[in-house]
């Protein structure tokens, strides 16, 4: 293999790309509907099925780079994070102990086992599972967080470096629509925008009403922890946001926005009809701004030639059964 095989990573921060470059797809239907150019960044084709692959991949690679393969990863931080860790562990030849709630659907459990990771089903929810996972960390154990770590943000920043290649150095988007859970992706997106000189590109940070920790924190001017979570968008279900997210919102244009579960579900259905594949409700939250035309209210001065990029984050918490329920 010649040296040209490394060209894909030129201009990126230095990290091993366990993730893949994803397509940026123009949506003619939504572009006509909104009278501007709508693009979808399709992260559902990542090896683990979601954008988590970028941040988790970089974190896991850095851990092996600094400590070698005589370690084991431990995680209990949500379906998409766990699936990303399982994939990374196999690729890096590292053992992994992954903890998920007892009621985790069988297909998710099968996917984890297929990667060769040790799976423990424990507790009734993710909070209990994560607490148990952290207790398993021993001398050679590395706990993999879902969002709140510098290496995770660096990995997610790669999505912006890709966008610069796909759109062109001199063609920054008018806005980026970014679903927000714990803040890891948001931190990476803002960091990436700063890195490439797109410091004026606004980020619309989308949550659901039942999991709007970032919106609540921005409004309060301090970190807010939600007392409970109530949303179908499991990929966004976080009671708190990274402190870095609030910090970055003070130095970069960010618009926090919350949508209803119904809006997210309907967007999943419409996106499936338009594109012939399905994504989970976390992606639907961001897509809903376009399908409902709410993005025009958020950005009323969008011009016809403006490019808006929606991060379609993917995710595994979706099935044909759920899609059928969304139709109802």
Counting Cα atoms < 13 Å in the Cβ hemisphere of 179 gives: 33
What are the residues whose beta carbons fall under 8 Å from the beta carbon of 320, sequence distance 6 or more?
278
Query: What pLDDT score was predicted for residue 181?
Result: 94
Note whether 278 and 318 are within 8 A (CB).
yes
Q: What is the pLDDT of residue 124?
A: 86
DSSP E strand stretches across 15-133: 24-26, 37-42, 72-75, 95-100, 118-121
Q: How far is CA 19 from the centre of its chain?
A: 13
Choosing from 112, 143, 174, the residue where a domain stops is 143
* Any domain includes 4: no
Whether 14 is covered by a domain: the verdict is no
Q: Are residues 131 and 190 in the same domain?
A: no
Within-domain flag for 18: no
Residue 72's nearest CA partner among 156, 167, 20, 140 is 140
**Domains contained in the chain, number:** 2
Residue 126, C-beta contacts closer than 8 angstroms, at least 6 positions apart: 76, 77, 78, 100, 101, 237
Together in a domain, 231 and 265: yes
pLDDT at 69: 87
Same domain, 188 and 90: no
Considering all CA atoms of the chain, what is the largest pairwise distance in Å, rounded to the nearest integer?
Answer: 57
Residue 265 forms part of a structural domain: yes
In angstroms, the CA 179 to CA 136 distance is 31
Residue 19 lies in a domain: no
Give the domain extent around 68: 52-143
Instruction: Verify that 100 and 159 share a domain, yes or no.
Output: no
Last residue of a domain, one of 113, 143, 173: 143
Whichever domain contains 101, its CATH number is 3.40.50.1100
Residue 184 CB-density burial (10 A; 0-12 exposed, 13-18 middle, 19+ buried) = buried
For each of the chain's 328 residues, which pLDDT tens digit applies? Answer: 344 444 443 433 444 579 999 999 999 999 999 999 999 999 999 999 999 999 999 999 999 999 998 999 999 988 999 999 999 999 999 999 999 999 888 989 999 999 999 999 998 888 899 999 999 998 889 999 999 999 999 999 999 999 999 999 899 999 999 999 999 999 999 999 999 999 999 999 999 999 999 999 999 999 999 999 999 988 898 999 999 999 999 999 999 999 999 999 999 999 999 999 999 999 999 999 999 999 999 999 999 999 999 999 987 888 888 888 887 7
Please calculate the CA angle 132-135-137 and round it to the nearest 5 degrees: 125
Quote the pTM value. Answer: 0.91
> Do 250 and 269 fall into the same domain?
yes
Q: Could you tell me if 286 and 250 lie in one domain? A: yes
């Amino acid at each position: 293999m010649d040296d040209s095989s490394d060209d894909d990573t030129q201009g990126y921060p230095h990290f091993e790309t366990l993730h893949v470059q994803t397509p940026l797809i123009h949506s003619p239907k939504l572009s006509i509907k909104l009278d501007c150019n709508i693009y979808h960044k399709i992260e559902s084709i990542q090896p683990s099925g979601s954008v988590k692959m970028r941040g988790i991949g970089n974190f896991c690679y850095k851990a092996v780079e600094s400590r070698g393969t005589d370690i084991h990863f431990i995680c209990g931080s949500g379906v998409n994070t766990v699936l990303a860790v399982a994939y990374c562990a196999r690729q890096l030849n590292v053992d992994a102990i992954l903890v998920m709630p007892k009621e985790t659907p069988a297909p998710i459990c099968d996917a984890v086992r297929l990667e060769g990771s040790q799976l423990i089903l424990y507790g009734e929810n993710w909070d209990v599972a994560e607490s148990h996972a952290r207790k398993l960390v021993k001398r050679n154990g590395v706990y993999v967080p879902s969002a709140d770590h510098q290496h995770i943000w660096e990995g997610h920043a790669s999505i912006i470096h890709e966008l610069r290649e796909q759109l062109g150095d001199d063609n920054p988007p008018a806005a980026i629509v970014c679903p927000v859970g714990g803040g890891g992706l948001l931190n990476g997106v803002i960091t990436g925008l700063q890195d490439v000189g797109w410091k004026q590109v606004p980020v619309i940070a989308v949550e659901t009403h039942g999991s709007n920790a970032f919106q609540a924190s921005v409004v309060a001017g301090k970190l807010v922890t939600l007392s409970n979570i109530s949303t179908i968008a499991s990929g966004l279900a976080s009671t708190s946001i990274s402190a870095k997210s609030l910090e970055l919102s003070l130095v970069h244009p960010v618009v926090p926005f919350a949508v209803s579960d119904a809006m997210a579900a309907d967007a999943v259905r419409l996106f499936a009809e338009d594109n012939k594949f399905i994504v989970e409700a976390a992606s639907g939250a961001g897509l809903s701004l376009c399908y409902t035309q709410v993005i025009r209210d958020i950005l009323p001065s969008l011009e016809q030639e403006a490019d808006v990029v929606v991060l379609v984050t993917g995710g595994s918490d979706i099935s044909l059964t759920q899609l059928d329920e969304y139709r109802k």
